[in-house]
């Protein structure tokens, strides 16, 4: 009896929220930074378009003139990079990425995609990401790194000349930067739609969600 008691006490000591406070703060700072970057990036793009038919409407861009758009872009850039580095460090050091995003097998990916195509994807367990979520989150982190690297090469092509040379031409860097932006917008359409379709996941990203033991299974009890 006493053994059971002490075990339950121990596990209570290790309980934490599904989404710990630092993670939530970084997630929402990142969301604000990304919206600033996309809105101001569209303003800058309109000044010298890559696709002749594509101009972003003035109502959805940030910055009255391209110069203002640039200033917003540089402002958002610092927030995105510093916050992004903090998030990556946190995810690696605390083992969150290892716990939540791995292992990831081809078999699991195919099974989850099959479930998704048959509208059978289970959303009831917030504590585990399915294979599609794991791929989306890992993919968006890779895109985030590439958009920052290509942005650096666009911003300082002389100082980062070796980096810029890896892409070939200046126009190629612009296209890579643009494609990364498009991937982020596509991710956000899916990500925000899923968050609205499964509102408890959105609530959890705001409040912290259920208490979990060591970041895996949900459990009742006091939380931080």
Site residue total, ligand HEM (CB under 6 A)? 21
Q: How far apart are CA 46 and CA 173, in angstroms?
A: 17
What's the rounded Cα separation, in Å, for the pair 198 and 27? 18
Q: Determine the Cα–Cα distance for residues 108 and 102; give it in Å rounded to an integer.
A: 11
The minimum distance between CB 30 and ligand HEM, in angstroms, equals 6
| Radius of gyration of the chain measured on its C-alpha atoms | 21
Residue 170 CB, nearest distance to ligand HEM (Å)?
A: 25
Question: Contacting ligand HEM (CB under 6 A), which of 205, 208, 212, 215?
Answer: 205
Sheet containing 217-219: give its strands across. Answer: 15-17, 211-213, 217-219
Tokens read off for 37: 């970057």
Nearer to ligand HEM, 34 or 211 (CB): 34
The answer to whether residue 191 forms part of the interface with ligand HEM (CB under 6 A) is: yes
Q: Closest distance between ligand HEM and the C-beta of residue 74, in Å? A: 19
Contacts of 59 (CB under 8 A, 6+ apart): none
Segment interacting with ligand HEM, rule: CB under 6 A, options 61-69, 155-163, 166-174, 184-192: 184-192
Rounded-to-integer distance, Cα 66 and Cα 120, Å: 46
Residue 79 Cβ vs ligand HEM, minimum distance, rounded to whole Å? 12
165-197 in b/e burial notation, b at 16+ Cβ within 10 A?
Answer: eebeeeeebbbbbbebbebbeebbeebeebbee
Q: Two tokens at 224?
A: 């931080």
49 sits near ligand HEM (criterion: CB under 6 A): no
Least distance to ligand HEM, CB of residue 10, Å: 25
Choice between 95 and 168, CB closer to ligand HEM? 95
Closer CB to ligand HEM, residue 54 or residue 189?
189
* Residue 126 binding ligand HEM, by CB under 6 A: yes
Question: Is 195 among the residues that bind ligand HEM (CB under 6 A)?
Answer: yes
Q: How far is the CB of 169 from ligand HEM (least distance, A)?
A: 27
Both tokens assigned to 44: 């800058």
Site for ligand HEM in 132-151 (CB under 6 A): 133, 137, 140
How many other C-beta atoms lie within 10 A of the C-beta of residue 158? 6
Chain contacts with ligand HEM (rule: CB under 6 A)? 23, 27, 30-31, 34, 91, 96, 100, 126, 133, 137, 140, 184, 188, 191-192, 195, 201-202, 204-205
């Amino acid at each position: 009896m006493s053994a059971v008691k002490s075990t339950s006490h121990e596990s209570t000591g290790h309980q934490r929220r599904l989404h710990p406070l630092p993670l939530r703060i970084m997630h929402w700072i990142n969301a604000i930074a990304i919206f600033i970057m996309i809105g101001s990036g569209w303003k800058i793009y309109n000044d010298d378009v890559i696709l002749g038919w594509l101009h972003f409407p003035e109502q959805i861009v940030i910055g009255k003139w391209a110069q203002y758009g640039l200033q917003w872009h540089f402002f958002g850039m610092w927030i995105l990079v510093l916050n992004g580095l903090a998030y990556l460090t946190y995810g690696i050091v605390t083992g969150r990425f290892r716990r939540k995003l791995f292992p990831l097998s081809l078999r699991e990916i195919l099974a989850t995609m099959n479930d998704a195509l048959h509208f059978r994807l289970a959303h009831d367990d917030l504590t585990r990401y399915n294979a599609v979520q794991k791929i989306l989150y890992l993919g968006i982190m890779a895109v985030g790194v590439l958009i920052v690297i290509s942005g650096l090469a666009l911003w300082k092509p002389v100082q980062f000349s070796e980096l810029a040379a890896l892409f070939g031409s200046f126009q190629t860097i612009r296209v890579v930067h643009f494609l990364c932006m498009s991937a982020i917008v596509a991710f956000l359409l899916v990500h925000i739609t899923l968050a609205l379709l499964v509102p408890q996941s959105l609530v959890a990203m705001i409040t912290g969600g259920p208490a979990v033991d060591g970041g895996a299974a949900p459990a009742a009890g006091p939380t931080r």
